[in-house]
Amino acid sequence: METKETLWKGRSEGNVHPLLIKLGESITLDIKLYREDLKGSYVHAKMLNKIDVLNQEELNEILKGLKQIQKEIEEHQLPINVELEDIHTHVEQRLKEIIGPTAGKLHTARSRNDQIALDTHLYVKRISLEIAKKLVEICNVLIDRSIELLDYIFPSYTHLQVAQPVRISHHLLAYFWMFTRDIERMIFSYQQANRLPLGCGAATGVNYNNDRLFLMNELGFDELYENSMDAVSSRDHILNFLYGISVIATHLSRLCEEIILFSSVEFSFLELPDSLTTGSSIMPQKKNPDLAELIRGKAAKFISNLNALFITTKGLPLTYNRDLQEDRKPLVESEEILDILEGIRLMILSFKVNEKELEKSLQKGFATATDLADALVQKKHIPFREAHHIVGKLVRFCVENRYTLFDIPKELRKEIYPDLADDDFYFNSIDLKKSVEKKVSRGGTSKVRIEEQIQYAKEKLKKIVENLPKEVNLTLE
């Protein structure tokens, strides 16, 4: 068996068993962190120059080499070699090939333990912000569509049984508010990762009076870890991130379930454009909402990734343990949420509404029965419970005799309760559009309240955008 030299060739003799190489490599995942890793090395080198570990010439060589490596990775020129284990070793090895032994000085006052901690902190910050921005885009689309569809009446459901009429805008805006909280969770995730672990060495600090404030400022962190053991072993910044993503994925899966349900033949409320659906290889009539189904399904992965990292971290002694490398899969898999969010944006942007089917369902589902009971209370000054009972009887009669509230003959209404024969009163009370207008409480679905809600939504989004945290700067400069 032949292997490349290990980084610890001084201490060990002989080769690393191929099985350990296979199980121990993380490069296939942490190659995704190459920009974070290079930026960390770039700034670390500058710091080493500042504390006189590197002279100017050595620094220039190293910085130039790191830039070349970045270019090579971007152009897919740097071969991945699992024997080199991780991104840090790939960079160090390649730097040695480019500039020679000076490359070996870069790892002074640094360990791969604080290095990987740095990379994951920068990565969490970067992706959290990207996700927050993508959610802002979606929120904008939700506002636009809420304005466009303001006068469409939709059935609301409880227990998946028709409840009461609601403006479709109201339904859409429910997701708007969920997503604003998702954004807040991503900002929290960013803030928690906004703390510099670099400069802590393997666990205890380093034998150099390094300049961690310089590292902090150059790398764009607001704070630094005050305890080196904490810095190299904590993974709660990733847990926060995975939690935030799991909640997003959960929200999206609910939305997708609704899209799937409401675009089925049985509901026929919505239609997605052909480009966001697929056909069947055997059944010519099919139009399947695969995108929504995939997104609904992918939620499982994000939730289990959070769970996996909890279990990895639980019971681990301080400080760094190799188990922690298992954070990489949940971490890099999370990026997929960005594509998922784009899929959601496209579906929200493009679904069409079938007003006729909505109306049919509202009528079939007796959506305004509650309004009728409320109207009786107002007209007759009877207790609500009694009115509820009268309308309940009416509905039962309709169900048994295949009527809706809209087509049951007047004489039959009269038999149930005389006032129900007053057409003016009766039809005003069960009218679908009038029903939503009666929901005047704040947060309700009347037009003025929805317009007010849209205004609040716009203000909320504006505030969010104004307060987004600063971009993570990974350019080598």
User: Which residue numbers are catalytic?
Assistant: 159, 280
Tell the smallest beta-carbon distance from residue 202 to ligand ARG (Å): 7
Closer residue to ligand ARG in complex, CB, 76/322? 322
State the helix-helix crossing angle for 290-313 and 336-350, rounded to 10 degrees: 150
Q: How far is the CB of 469 from ligand ARG (least distance, A)?
A: 26
DSSP one-letter code for 289: -
Q: Specify the DSSP class assigned to residue 84.
A: G
HSE at residue 40, side-chain half, CA atoms within 13 A, is: 28
In the bound state with ligand ARG, the residue whose beta carbon lies nearer, of 112 and 296, is 112
Shortest reach from residue 27's CB to ligand ARG, in Å: 8
Q: Which of residues 111 and 363 has its CB atom nearest to ligand ARG in the complex?
A: 111
Residue 406, judged by CB atoms within 10 A of its CB (0-12, 13-18, 19+), counts as: middle
The C-alpha atoms of residue 218 and residue 206 are separated, in whole angstroms, by 20
With respect to ligand ARG, which residue has the nearer C-beta, 197 or 365? 197
For residues 310 and 238, is the Cβ–Cβ distance under 8 A? no
List the structure tokens of 193: 């990762």
How far apart are CB 322 and ligand ARG at their closest, in Å?
A: 6
Other beta carbons less than 10 A from residue 96's beta carbon: 15
Specify the DSSP class assigned to residue 224.
Answer: E
Q: Which residues bind ligand ARG (CB under 6 A)?
A: 26, 85-86, 112-113, 116, 320, 322, 324-325
How many Å apart are CA 91 and CA 38, to the nearest integer?
A: 8
Gap between the Cα atoms of 244 and 263, Å rounded: 29
Q: Tokens 């949940």 identify what position?
A: 330
Cβ neighbour number for residue 361 with a 10 Å cutoff: 18
- Shortest separation between residue 324's beta carbon and ligand ARG, angstroms: 5
When the beta carbons of 328 and 449 are compared against ligand ARG, the nearer one is 328
